[in-house]
Amino acid sequence: MSLNYMIPASKFKRYLPKDYVELVDYGPFGKKYSEVGVKNMGTYKELVEEHPMCSGCWMSYYIKIIFASLPNPEDTVTIGTAGCGRLAISQAAVPFIYGNYGDQNAMASGITRAFRLRFPDRQKDVITIAGDGGMMDIGFSMTMHAWFRREKFTTIMLDNEVYGNTGGQESGMSVEGAVLKMSPKGKNFGKMPAMQLAITAGCVYVVKMSPTNINKASKAIRRAIFAARNLGPTFIHVYTSCNIEYSIPTPDVFRDAKEKEKRSFCI
Amino acid sequence: MYLEMLKRKKKGRFAFEEFMTDEAKELFKVVEAKKKKEVS
Protein backbone atom coordinates (compact mmCIF):
# COMPACT_ATOMS: atom_id res chain seq x y z
CA MET A 1 0.00 0.00 0.00
CA SER A 2 1.38 3.40 -0.92
CA LEU A 3 1.55 5.98 1.83
CA ASN A 4 2.87 8.71 -0.42
CA TYR A 5 -0.21 10.83 0.03
CA MET A 6 0.94 11.47 3.62
CA ILE A 7 4.22 13.05 2.51
CA PRO A 8 3.96 16.80 1.93
CA ALA A 9 5.62 18.51 -1.03
CA SER A 10 8.89 20.09 0.10
CA LYS A 11 7.78 23.67 -0.62
CA PHE A 12 4.65 23.28 1.49
CA LYS A 13 6.44 21.86 4.50
CA ARG A 14 6.95 25.23 6.18
CA TYR A 15 3.20 25.95 6.11
CA LEU A 16 2.27 22.69 7.79
CA PRO A 17 2.18 22.11 11.57
CA LYS A 18 5.68 21.34 12.85
CA ASP A 19 4.51 18.19 14.62
CA TYR A 20 3.07 16.75 11.42
CA VAL A 21 6.22 17.43 9.42
CA GLU A 22 8.33 15.82 12.17
CA LEU A 23 6.12 12.73 12.16
CA VAL A 24 6.77 12.38 8.44
CA ASP A 25 10.51 13.10 8.68
CA TYR A 26 11.37 11.35 11.95
CA GLY A 27 8.22 9.43 12.89
CA PRO A 28 6.15 6.50 11.62
CA PHE A 29 4.09 8.35 8.99
CA GLY A 30 4.72 6.96 5.53
CA LYS A 31 7.21 4.33 6.75
CA LYS A 32 7.17 0.55 6.77
CA TYR A 33 6.54 -1.21 10.06
CA SER A 34 10.00 -2.79 9.95
CA GLU A 35 11.56 0.69 10.04
CA VAL A 36 9.60 1.77 13.12
CA GLY A 37 7.44 -0.52 15.32
CA VAL A 38 8.01 -1.60 18.91
CA LYS A 39 11.48 -2.98 18.25
CA ASN A 40 12.76 0.47 17.33
CA MET A 41 10.97 2.43 20.06
CA GLY A 42 13.19 5.19 21.36
CA THR A 43 14.89 5.73 18.01
CA TYR A 44 12.09 7.59 16.22
CA LYS A 45 9.44 10.18 17.02
CA GLU A 46 6.60 8.22 18.57
CA LEU A 47 2.91 8.93 18.24
CA VAL A 48 2.55 9.37 22.03
CA GLU A 49 5.43 11.38 23.41
CA GLU A 50 3.93 12.97 26.49
CA HIS A 51 0.99 12.05 28.69
CA PRO A 52 -0.39 13.13 32.06
CA MET A 53 -0.66 9.62 33.57
CA CYS A 54 0.61 8.73 37.05
CA SER A 55 4.21 7.75 37.59
CA GLY A 56 4.69 4.04 36.95
CA CYS A 57 1.33 3.65 35.21
CA TRP A 58 1.27 0.27 33.45
CA MET A 59 -1.63 1.45 31.33
CA SER A 60 0.36 4.27 29.75
CA TYR A 61 3.13 1.79 28.91
CA TYR A 62 0.63 -0.43 27.10
CA ILE A 63 -0.90 2.55 25.30
CA LYS A 64 2.56 3.38 23.95
CA ILE A 65 2.82 -0.21 22.68
CA ILE A 66 -0.60 0.08 20.98
CA PHE A 67 0.43 3.17 19.06
CA ALA A 68 3.85 1.79 18.16
CA SER A 69 2.18 -1.37 16.81
CA LEU A 70 -0.35 0.25 14.50
CA PRO A 71 0.09 -1.15 10.99
CA ASN A 72 -1.32 1.98 9.43
CA PRO A 73 -1.20 4.95 11.85
CA GLU A 74 -2.00 7.46 9.10
CA ASP A 75 -5.37 5.85 8.53
CA THR A 76 -6.33 4.91 12.06
CA VAL A 77 -8.97 6.41 14.32
CA THR A 78 -9.17 5.63 18.03
CA ILE A 79 -12.32 5.91 20.09
CA GLY A 80 -12.37 6.00 23.87
CA THR A 81 -14.49 7.02 26.76
CA ALA A 82 -14.17 8.37 30.29
CA GLY A 83 -11.41 6.80 32.33
CA CYS A 84 -7.67 7.04 32.84
CA GLY A 85 -6.78 5.65 29.41
CA ARG A 86 -8.21 8.49 27.37
CA LEU A 87 -5.81 10.93 29.07
CA ALA A 88 -2.92 9.31 27.19
CA ILE A 89 -4.83 8.15 24.10
CA SER A 90 -6.01 11.69 23.39
CA GLN A 91 -2.38 12.90 23.42
CA ALA A 92 -1.43 10.69 20.47
CA ALA A 93 -0.93 12.03 16.96
CA VAL A 94 -3.83 9.86 15.79
CA PRO A 95 -7.43 11.17 15.57
CA PHE A 96 -9.25 10.39 18.80
CA ILE A 97 -13.00 10.52 19.39
CA TYR A 98 -14.30 10.80 22.91
CA GLY A 99 -17.54 8.93 23.41
CA ASN A 100 -20.08 9.47 26.15
CA TYR A 101 -19.54 7.01 28.92
CA GLY A 102 -19.60 3.50 27.50
CA ASP A 103 -20.81 4.17 23.96
CA GLN A 104 -17.41 3.78 22.28
CA ASN A 105 -18.32 0.55 20.49
CA ALA A 106 -21.62 1.96 19.21
CA MET A 107 -19.75 4.97 17.82
CA ALA A 108 -17.09 2.74 16.32
CA SER A 109 -19.79 0.74 14.50
CA GLY A 110 -21.07 3.87 12.77
CA ILE A 111 -17.61 5.22 11.99
CA THR A 112 -16.40 1.90 10.54
CA ARG A 113 -19.42 1.71 8.26
CA ALA A 114 -19.04 5.36 7.22
CA PHE A 115 -15.36 4.84 6.37
CA ARG A 116 -16.17 1.86 4.19
CA LEU A 117 -18.69 3.94 2.25
CA ARG A 118 -16.62 7.11 2.05
CA PHE A 119 -13.22 5.50 1.39
CA PRO A 120 -13.93 2.20 -0.38
CA ASP A 121 -10.42 2.15 -1.89
CA ARG A 122 -8.54 2.87 1.34
CA GLN A 123 -8.12 0.73 4.45
CA LYS A 124 -9.15 2.71 7.54
CA ASP A 125 -8.67 1.07 10.93
CA VAL A 126 -10.96 1.81 13.84
CA ILE A 127 -9.88 0.85 17.35
CA THR A 128 -11.83 1.33 20.56
CA ILE A 129 -9.70 1.60 23.66
CA ALA A 130 -11.46 1.84 27.00
CA GLY A 131 -11.18 0.69 30.55
CA ASP A 132 -12.95 -2.18 32.25
CA GLY A 133 -15.71 0.13 33.52
CA GLY A 134 -16.40 1.66 30.12
CA MET A 135 -16.25 -1.66 28.31
CA MET A 136 -17.72 -4.29 30.61
CA ASP A 137 -19.85 -2.35 33.10
CA ILE A 138 -21.44 0.81 31.77
CA GLY A 139 -20.77 0.15 28.09
CA PHE A 140 -21.53 -3.55 28.30
CA SER A 141 -24.63 -3.63 26.11
CA MET A 142 -23.05 -1.51 23.39
CA THR A 143 -19.87 -3.59 23.42
CA MET A 144 -21.78 -6.86 23.20
CA HIS A 145 -24.14 -5.69 20.47
CA ALA A 146 -21.28 -4.42 18.31
CA TRP A 147 -19.80 -7.94 18.52
CA PHE A 148 -23.13 -9.63 17.83
CA ARG A 149 -23.52 -7.46 14.72
CA ARG A 150 -20.02 -8.59 13.63
CA GLU A 151 -18.78 -5.02 13.23
CA LYS A 152 -15.30 -5.01 11.77
CA PHE A 153 -13.17 -3.13 14.27
CA THR A 154 -10.81 -3.87 17.16
CA THR A 155 -11.79 -3.53 20.79
CA ILE A 156 -9.07 -3.19 23.43
CA MET A 157 -10.01 -3.33 27.10
CA LEU A 158 -7.48 -1.83 29.51
CA ASP A 159 -8.36 -3.78 32.64
CA ASN A 160 -7.03 -2.18 35.81
CA GLU A 161 -9.64 -3.97 37.94
CA VAL A 162 -10.93 -0.75 39.51
CA TYR A 163 -12.56 2.59 38.75
CA GLY A 164 -9.23 4.33 39.16
CA ASN A 165 -10.30 7.73 37.86
CA THR A 166 -13.11 8.26 40.36
CA GLY A 167 -11.53 7.20 43.62
CA GLY A 168 -11.40 3.40 43.68
CA GLN A 169 -14.83 1.80 43.34
CA GLU A 170 -15.02 -1.90 42.48
CA SER A 171 -15.74 -2.78 38.87
CA GLY A 172 -17.10 -5.91 37.26
CA MET A 173 -13.52 -6.86 36.49
CA SER A 174 -12.19 -6.50 40.05
CA VAL A 175 -11.20 -9.82 41.55
CA GLU A 176 -13.33 -11.46 44.23
CA GLY A 177 -12.57 -10.12 47.70
CA ALA A 178 -10.75 -7.03 46.42
CA VAL A 179 -10.79 -4.37 49.16
CA LEU A 180 -10.66 -0.92 47.64
CA LYS A 181 -11.02 2.63 48.94
CA MET A 182 -14.69 2.80 47.97
CA SER A 183 -15.51 -0.86 48.60
CA PRO A 184 -14.12 -1.47 52.09
CA LYS A 185 -15.98 -4.74 52.66
CA GLY A 186 -14.45 -6.42 49.64
CA LYS A 187 -16.02 -7.52 46.38
CA ASN A 188 -18.62 -10.27 46.64
CA PHE A 189 -18.26 -11.90 43.23
CA GLY A 190 -15.48 -12.72 40.78
CA LYS A 191 -14.26 -11.20 37.54
CA MET A 192 -16.63 -11.13 34.61
CA PRO A 193 -15.54 -13.71 31.98
CA ALA A 194 -14.83 -11.14 29.26
CA MET A 195 -12.92 -13.54 27.02
CA GLN A 196 -15.69 -16.14 27.01
CA LEU A 197 -18.27 -13.43 26.35
CA ALA A 198 -16.28 -12.17 23.36
CA ILE A 199 -15.95 -15.66 21.88
CA THR A 200 -19.64 -16.39 22.39
CA ALA A 201 -20.60 -13.06 20.84
CA GLY A 202 -18.68 -13.87 17.66
CA CYS A 203 -15.27 -12.23 17.91
CA VAL A 204 -12.92 -13.87 15.43
CA TYR A 205 -9.74 -13.17 17.37
CA VAL A 206 -9.56 -12.82 21.16
CA VAL A 207 -6.53 -12.39 23.39
CA LYS A 208 -6.20 -12.16 27.14
CA MET A 209 -2.80 -11.10 28.39
CA SER A 210 -0.63 -9.16 30.76
CA PRO A 211 1.75 -7.22 28.50
CA THR A 212 5.07 -8.25 30.01
CA ASN A 213 6.48 -9.27 26.64
CA ILE A 214 6.54 -6.29 24.32
CA ASN A 215 6.83 -8.34 21.10
CA LYS A 216 3.97 -10.63 22.04
CA ALA A 217 1.80 -7.66 22.97
CA SER A 218 2.58 -5.97 19.67
CA LYS A 219 1.91 -9.12 17.65
CA ALA A 220 -1.49 -9.54 19.29
CA ILE A 221 -2.46 -5.95 18.52
CA ARG A 222 -1.43 -6.24 14.88
CA ARG A 223 -3.17 -9.57 14.45
CA ALA A 224 -6.34 -8.12 15.96
CA ILE A 225 -6.26 -5.20 13.54
CA PHE A 226 -5.61 -7.40 10.47
CA ALA A 227 -8.39 -9.81 11.44
CA ALA A 228 -10.81 -6.93 12.07
CA ARG A 229 -10.13 -5.52 8.60
CA ASN A 230 -11.10 -8.70 6.84
CA LEU A 231 -13.17 -10.97 9.05
CA GLY A 232 -15.02 -9.45 11.97
CA PRO A 233 -14.78 -8.09 15.50
CA THR A 234 -11.63 -8.70 17.52
CA PHE A 235 -11.00 -8.23 21.22
CA ILE A 236 -7.92 -7.81 23.40
CA HIS A 237 -8.34 -8.04 27.16
CA VAL A 238 -5.20 -6.71 28.76
CA TYR A 239 -4.15 -6.31 32.37
CA THR A 240 -2.90 -2.79 33.04
CA SER A 241 -2.57 -2.33 36.78
CA CYS A 242 -3.55 0.80 38.70
CA ASN A 243 -0.57 1.34 40.95
CA ILE A 244 -2.30 4.16 42.83
CA GLU A 245 -5.54 2.39 43.81
CA TYR A 246 -3.82 -0.95 44.46
CA SER A 247 -0.89 0.77 46.22
CA ILE A 248 1.82 -0.81 44.08
CA PRO A 249 5.15 1.02 44.50
CA THR A 250 6.39 2.37 41.18
CA PRO A 251 9.49 0.12 40.99
CA ASP A 252 7.30 -2.96 41.58
CA VAL A 253 4.80 -2.36 38.79
CA PHE A 254 6.52 -4.71 36.34
CA ARG A 255 6.88 -7.40 38.99
CA ASP A 256 3.18 -7.10 39.75
CA ALA A 257 2.34 -7.56 36.07
CA LYS A 258 4.52 -10.69 35.96
CA GLU A 259 2.92 -12.14 39.08
CA LYS A 260 -0.55 -11.33 37.85
CA GLU A 261 0.22 -13.10 34.59
CA LYS A 262 1.18 -16.28 36.40
CA ARG A 263 -1.37 -16.28 39.20
CA SER A 264 -4.71 -14.62 38.92
CA PHE A 265 -5.05 -13.08 35.47
CA CYS A 266 -6.44 -16.32 34.17
CA ILE A 267 -9.64 -18.30 34.21
CA MET B 1 -15.05 -24.04 21.36
CA TYR B 2 -13.77 -22.30 24.46
CA LEU B 3 -13.59 -25.56 26.42
CA GLU B 4 -11.53 -27.10 23.63
CA MET B 5 -9.11 -24.23 23.90
CA LEU B 6 -8.86 -24.74 27.65
CA LYS B 7 -8.05 -28.42 27.17
CA ARG B 8 -5.24 -27.59 24.79
CA LYS B 9 -3.71 -25.16 27.23
CA LYS B 10 -0.86 -26.49 29.33
CA LYS B 11 -1.64 -26.68 33.00
CA GLY B 12 -0.18 -23.88 35.10
CA ARG B 13 0.77 -21.64 32.17
CA PHE B 14 -1.47 -18.63 31.88
CA ALA B 15 0.95 -16.21 30.32
CA PHE B 16 -1.02 -15.67 27.15
CA GLU B 17 -4.44 -16.84 26.10
CA GLU B 18 -5.31 -16.59 22.45
CA PHE B 19 -8.39 -17.67 20.56
CA MET B 20 -8.86 -17.46 16.80
CA THR B 21 -11.33 -18.87 14.34
CA ASP B 22 -10.17 -21.10 11.49
CA GLU B 23 -10.65 -18.20 9.07
CA ALA B 24 -8.39 -15.99 11.20
CA LYS B 25 -5.78 -18.75 11.34
CA GLU B 26 -5.71 -18.90 7.53
CA LEU B 27 -5.45 -15.12 7.32
CA PHE B 28 -2.46 -14.97 9.67
CA LYS B 29 -0.72 -17.70 7.67
CA VAL B 30 -1.06 -15.57 4.54
CA VAL B 31 0.12 -12.40 6.33
CA GLU B 32 3.16 -14.16 7.80
CA ALA B 33 4.10 -15.76 4.48
CA LYS B 34 3.95 -12.32 2.88
CA LYS B 35 6.19 -10.92 5.60
CA LYS B 36 8.77 -13.69 5.11
CA LYS B 37 8.77 -13.05 1.38
CA GLU B 38 9.43 -9.32 1.96
CA VAL B 39 12.34 -10.07 4.31
CA SER B 40 13.98 -12.56 1.95
* Domains defined along chain A, listed by start: 4-262 (3.40.50.970)
Q: CB-based burial of residue A228 (10 Å sphere; 0-12 exposed, 13-18 middle, 19+ buried)?
A: buried
Taking the C-alpha atoms of residue B29 and residue B35, their distance in angstroms, rounded to an integer, is 10
A166 touches chain B (CB under 8 A): no
Taking the C-alpha atoms of residue A110 and residue A115, their distance in angstroms, rounded to an integer, is 9
The per-residue pLDDT for range A125-168, each reduced to its tens digit, is 999 999 999 999 999 999 999 999 999 999 999 999 999 888 89
- Residue A249 is predicted with a pLDDT of 92
- Residue A1 is predicted with a pLDDT of 46
Taking the C-alpha atoms of residue A203 and residue A227, their distance in angstroms, rounded to an integer, is 10
What is the band of B12 on the pLDDT scale with cuts at 50, 70, 90?
very low
Low-confidence ranges of chain A (pLDDT < 70): 1-5, 264-267
Task: Please indicate whether, in this complex, the C-beta atoms of A261 and B14 are within 8 angstroms of each other.
Answer: yes
Secondary structure letter of residue A155 according to DSSP: E
Secondary structure letter of residue A182 according to DSSP: T
- Amino acid identity of residue A241, one-letter, is S
Residues 6+ apart with CB under 8 A from A78: A89, A92, A94, A95, A96, A97, A127, A128, A129
A residues 226-255 closer than 8 Å to B (CB) = 226-227, 230-231
Rg (C-alpha) for chain B, rounded Å, is 14
CA B25, A126, B17: angle at the middle one, nearest 5?
40
Domain spans of chain B?
A: 2-39
- Residue A267 is predicted with a pLDDT of 44
ipTM for the complex shown: 0.80
In this model, does residue B11 exceed pLDDT 70?
A: no
Reduced to 3 states (helix: H, G, I; strand: E, B; else coil), residue A195 is: helix
Task: Please indicate whether, in this complex, the C-beta atoms of B14 and A262 are within 8 angstroms of each other.
Answer: yes
**Edge-to-edge strand ranges of the sheet holding A234-239:** A96-98, A76-80, A125-131, A154-159, A234-239, A205-209, B16-20
- Residue A187 is predicted with a pLDDT of 92
Averaged confidence pLDDT in chain B = 73
- Residue A66 is predicted with a pLDDT of 95
Strand A205-209 to strand B16-20: parallel, antiparallel, or no bridges (unpaired)? antiparallel
In this model, does residue B14 exceed pLDDT 50?
A: no
In this model, does residue B35 exceed pLDDT 90?
A: no
Taking the C-alpha atoms of residue A150 and residue A142, their distance in angstroms, rounded to an integer, is 12
Selected for mutation to probe chain A from B5, B8, B26, B27 (highest A CB count within 10 Å) is B27
